[in-house]
Structure 1
Amino acid sequence: MIDIESVRVSLGGAEVLSGVSASVERGSFVGLVGPNGAGKTTLLRTVSAALTPDSGRVQVDGDDVHALSSRAASRRVAVVPQETHLSFSFDVETVVEMGRHPYRSRFGRETDADRDAVAKAMERTAVARFADRSIEGISGGERQRVLLARALAQDAPVLLLDEPTASLDVNHQVETLELVTDLVADGKTAVAAIHDLDLAARYCDELLLITDGDLLAAGPPVQVLSESRLADAFDTNAVVSRDGTTGSVSVTALADRPDADGTVHVVGGGETGARVLDALRSAGFDRTAGPLPEGDAAAETARVQGVDLLTSSPFDPIDGAMIDALADRVAAADVTVLADPVVTPGNRDVLSVVRDARTLVVVETRPFEERNHAGEGAREAYESLRRGATVVAEDDVTAAVRELRRTVTAESA
């Protein structure tokens, strides 16, 4: 639906966009993320034809949007601005009716089609109930919906939204993005600059990460929001994990990360493994992980955090080469953590490797009987390694690893 080709834009003598190229698929919700001043708003204004690029071009539905008349461009692209205050205190219905200007001649009268489009837009955005109220007499969240209704009345296939959740409370943020998601499901194409990375990851199909006027990364949120990219874009230390409720990527900014305090190898997947990786990362430990099946929550957490990871195909048994690779990582680690593992006939040999770890922490959140699918031999192997390990609850894993790490350091000295 949108093709952005080598777009350069300068404002006030300073280059704001420096050769950005990207594409937005029809019927998708794409988020623009990046630090303040990165060029997100400028890119939106260029796509809407409000700004003409110094070079490059933007095509919307196959046509160069800057070669179209203002009226024709407005029939392709509708804009929901960040600023919700208007110069005059119009009533809500009048504001929504402004979306029909691209379809009227200068002195043209309102048509049945105009009235129908306005009524449907107001109903869809739940603003019809205060149609007669002043735009200045409603809340910020309600004004945001009115401006979205105006864009819907414009009946354009593309919606551009500039920080649609800025200055809104949490409830209105979610309501706004839920509505945009519904509109995309009905066939709209939406591009939104979003400052909240968690919301962007939760609602957007793809993200464009922009920094210093350049496109740093593009793709699904789980690929774009890696810790290394966030460090490059925002110059900050962040932990990237999976939200336990929504399943989407979650970003937590931290103070400067402590110097690495040893290496920990984590065995065991699922949400427990993911949270253990997060906790160890926050505590400043270098981590390796696996073997974990592709698509596992812990595997995805390890991937976005840049952890050295051993992966296998789901349901495939762990082969000899993988066992050897695991043995190498366990031998190199100061501490090995066995995080609430599910044991199957295909992975039970992992227990034998972990048993030989220099120091071992076993994290348990469920009885082993609930996690054992490999019979009595697996239970005996697990109990044997458990007797030689430090067994802790999930919340105590960092303290246990730190204490064992001190023990290893003292013995080495």
Structure 2
Amino acid sequence: MLSIENLSAGYNGKKVLHDISLKVPQGSVIALIGPNGSGKTTLIRAISGILNPESGKMFYNDQDLTKISIQERSKLIAVVPQVRNLPPAFSVYEVVALGRTPYLNWFGITSGPDHEIVNQCMAQVDLLEMADRNIAELSGGEQQRVMLARALAQQTPVLVMDEPTSHLDLQYQVSFLKSVHRLAHPSQEEIQQGNEPRAALVAIHDLNLLANFADQVALMVEGRLVKLGSPAEVLQPEILSGVYHLPLTTLQDPKTGHFAVLPR
């Protein structure tokens, strides 16, 4: 389980996060929502190790994330950032294979099992046919799928994602979020094959999509976690209208229980 305790962080002396406490258990997907500037990306940067917190603690089970190396943290947490930094001369396969970096020996040589894992992750986001293409030739949406595959190739117990579906067509948004849900909720057969339930924290803007895959929703406003609960508990018109400064209403599908958030 990923545990965040009383975390505060910021930039150049200006505090952005204020005493954030959040637990992301194995076998769950938590959607992180909030207006622009609410601190979602800053929280993800702190979890990933890019930003050092001013105070507070972060743990994976009993391991203090602030006291282990970046390499060891990369075996526990895979991050899909909002900004893509992709080496332009690399092929799709080579970029996805970077996800195996924490496990390589001193010579940086990938093995047979590494190649198999990379191919499986590319297949999961429909990239196998693009494996040999140069990353610079791809569209923004295709490059985002490469980033997703690279994170999956790390095979970490925790996935942290900052707007992972922002450049994807709707079919790939739904397909990927279903994949994230399946990683957190593997079938009994998948568990027997060694696929343990993962913990996933996903920052997302689309309030309608999150209701289809998230177990819980964490709502951030001005650097504070103001509400945590099920989609039904958080996606309430009186809560969202005040946060987003827009009159909103919600509709619920009586068959699936999924919510749609609409402007009035």
Structure 2 equivalent of residue 44 of structure 1: 44
Is 2:19 aligned against 1:9? no
Structure 1 equivalent of residue 194 of structure 2: none
Q: 3-state SS of the aligned residue for 1:5?
A: strand
Q: Return closer, same or farther for 1:119/1:172 CA change in 2, 3 Å cut-off.
A: closer
Structure 2 equivalent of residue 198 of structure 1: 208
Q: Return closer, same or farther for 1:143/1:34 CA change in 2, 3 Å cut-off.
A: same
Question: Which structure has more helix as a fraction of its residues?
Answer: 1
Contact kept in structure 2, 1:4 and 1:59, CA below 8 Å: yes
Structure 1 equivalent of residue 190 of structure 2: none
2:216 maps to amino acid: E
1:66 maps to amino acid: T
**Which whole-Å CA distance do the structure 2 matches of 1:152 and 1:233 have between them?**
33
Contact kept in structure 1, 2:10 and 2:42, CA below 8 Å: no
1:126 maps to amino acid: D
Is 2:44 aligned against 1:34? no
Comparing 229-238 with 104-113, which one deviates more in the overlay? Answer: 104-113
Structure 2 equivalent of residue 95 of structure 1: 95
Contact kept in structure 2, 1:210 and 1:233, CA below 8 Å: no
2:202 maps to amino acid: A
1:106-133 residue CA offsets vs partner (Å, 9 max, x unmatched): 4332223322322222233321221101
User: Which is higher, the Rg of structure 1 or of structure 2?
Assistant: 1
1:214-235 residue CA offsets vs partner (Å, 9 max, x unmatched): 0110010100112222133222
**Which whole-Å CA distance do the structure 2 matches of 1:132 and 1:144 have between them?**
16
1:329-376 residue CA offsets vs partner (Å, 9 max, x unmatched): xxxxxxxxxxxxxxxxxxxxxxxxxxxxxxxxxxxxxxxxxxxxxxxx
Comparing 42-51 with 228-237, which one deviates more in the overlay? Answer: 228-237
Structure 2 equivalent of residue 265 of structure 1: none
Structure 1 equivalent of residue 224 of structure 2: 214
Of structures 1 and 2, the one scoring higher in RCO (CA 8 A, sep 6+) is 2
Q: Return closer, same or farther for 1:80/1:53 CA change in 2, 3 Å cut-off.
A: same
Comparing 214-223 with 112-121, which one deviates more in the overlay? Answer: 112-121
Contact kept in structure 2, 1:85 and 1:136, CA below 8 Å: no
Contact kept in structure 2, 1:78 and 1:160, CA below 8 Å: yes
**Which whole-Å CA distance do the structure 2 matches of 1:15 and 1:130 have between them?**
43
Structure 2 equivalent of residue 147 of structure 1: 147
Q: Pick from 223, 236, 252: which aligns with 2:246?
A: 236
Is 2:82 aligned against 1:82? yes
How many residues of Structure 1 are paired with residues of Structure 2 in the alignment? 254
**Which whole-Å CA distance do the structure 1 matches of 2:143 and 2:183 have between them?**
18
Structure 2 equivalent of residue 283 of structure 1: none
Structure 1 equivalent of residue 23 of structure 2: 23
1:31 maps to amino acid: A
1:242 maps to amino acid: Q
Structure 2 equivalent of residue 112 of structure 1: 112
**Which whole-Å CA distance do the structure 2 matches of 1:243 and 1:82 have between them?**
31
Q: 3-state SS of the aligned residue for 1:31?
A: strand
Question: Counterparts of 1:247-286 in structure 2 under 5 Å?
Answer: 247-254=257-264
Question: Counterparts of 1:151-162 in structure 2 under 5 Å?
Answer: 151-162=151-162
- Taking structure 1 as the reference length, the TM-score comes to 0.59
Q: 3-state SS of the aligned residue for 1:202?
A: coil
Gapped regions of structure 1 (runs ≥ 5) = 255-413
Contact kept in structure 2, 1:76 and 1:158, CA below 8 Å: yes
**Which whole-Å CA distance do the structure 2 matches of 1:116 and 1:77 have between them?**
21
Structure 2 equivalent of residue 185 of structure 1: 185
Structure 1 equivalent of residue 131 of structure 2: 131
Structure 2 equivalent of residue 277 of structure 1: none
Contact kept in structure 2, 1:118 and 1:153, CA below 8 Å: yes
**Which whole-Å CA distance do the structure 1 matches of 2:201 and 2:66 have between them?**
18
Contact kept in structure 2, 1:84 and 1:140, CA below 8 Å: no
Contact kept in structure 2, 1:208 and 1:217, CA below 8 Å: yes
State the Cα RMSD in Å: 1.7
Q: 3-state SS of the aligned residue for 2:212?
A: helix
**Which whole-Å CA distance do the structure 2 matches of 1:116 and 1:95 have between them?**
15
Structure 1 equivalent of residue 166 of structure 2: 166
Q: Return closer, same or farther for 1:167/1:152 CA change in 2, 3 Å cut-off.
A: closer
**Which whole-Å CA distance do the structure 2 matches of 1:223 and 1:215 have between them?**
15
Contact kept in structure 1, 2:75 and 2:156, CA below 8 Å: yes
2:82 maps to amino acid: Q
**Which whole-Å CA distance do the structure 2 matches of 1:16 and 1:119 have between them?**
39
1:132 maps to amino acid: D
1:204 offset after TM fit, Å? 0.5
- Taking structure 2 as the reference length, the TM-score comes to 0.90
Q: 3-state SS of the aligned residue for 1:192?
A: strand
1:206 offset after TM fit, Å? 0.4
Q: Pick from 204, 211, 233: which aligns with 1:223?
A: 233
Q: 3-state SS of the aligned residue for 2:149?
A: helix
1:116 maps to amino acid: E
**Which whole-Å CA distance do the structure 2 matches of 1:23 and 1:127 have between them?**
33
What percentage of aligned pairs have identical amino acids?
40
Q: Return closer, same or farther for 1:136/1:108 CA change in 2, 3 Å cut-off.
A: closer
